[in-house]
Copies of this chain bind each other. A is one copy, B any other.
């Protein structure tokens, strides 16, 4: 579910375009700083500029792109400080969701989270990076949902999308999978046992380490 996305019984072209463009951004086909030409996108998708403009506005509000009047739109390009802020914000949002999840998840949700986590242990041990990455998104989404608070879950998911373009290849690092899984273990234990403060702390710890991985990655790339 997406922030403010129009309910999708009959999605409009603008909605589909927004999804397609967002996909391109998250896939790296549209890297940060890339110019988003209205006529280009329109021709590329075989539509007129009107729905393209509406899609761009949607994406601008989500923070995925930047628009400046009369200057056009680009994929959001952030300074290192802004990227740092995004990671801090995401850590805080995830930690908040984890805290609420520890307080308000149902017993069934807790068991399912535990099962999900255990399944991921096998993936981590087998080094299945891709499958682990997908499962990881689902794992965090389960925690968002467990907070039982739609606005917070939407913000958390939105932030996760926004940092996406800046954290590619995070799991490529040696031992990252196993370490991630160990951190998940602390998070899951706290949530399952209803330890709100512990869940918060464990999640902040976890996401902050992901951030470290990014910093290292950025440093390597800069060299």
Flag whether A109 is at the interface (Cβ < 8 A).
no
Q: How long is the Cα–Cα vector from A153 to B8 in the complex, in angstroms?
A: 30
Copies assembled: 2
Q: How long is the Cα–Cα vector from A191 to B69 in the complex, in angstroms?
A: 38
When C-beta atoms are compared, the residue in chain B nearest to A9 turns out to be B69
CB distance from A18 to the nearest CB of B (A): 9
Contact check, B4 vs A63: say whether CB atoms are below 8 A apart: yes
Contact code string A88-127 (vs B, CB < 8 Å = 1, else 0): 1100110010001000000000000000000000000000
Chain B contacts for A62, CB-based, 8 A: 4, 61
Which A residues lie at the B interface, using CB under 8 A? 3-12, 14-15, 50, 53-54, 57-58, 60-63, 67-70, 82, 85-86, 88-89, 92-93, 96, 100, 148-152, 155, 159, 162
Identify 9 new A-B residue pairs, CB closer than 8 A, beyond the known A9-B69, A53-B54, A57-B57.
Answer: A3-B61, A4-B62, A6-B60, A6-B67, A15-B69, A85-B149, A85-B152, A88-B152, A92-B100
Pairs of residues from A and B, 4 with the lowest C-beta to C-beta distance, nearest first? A61-B61, A4-B61, A89-B151, A4-B60
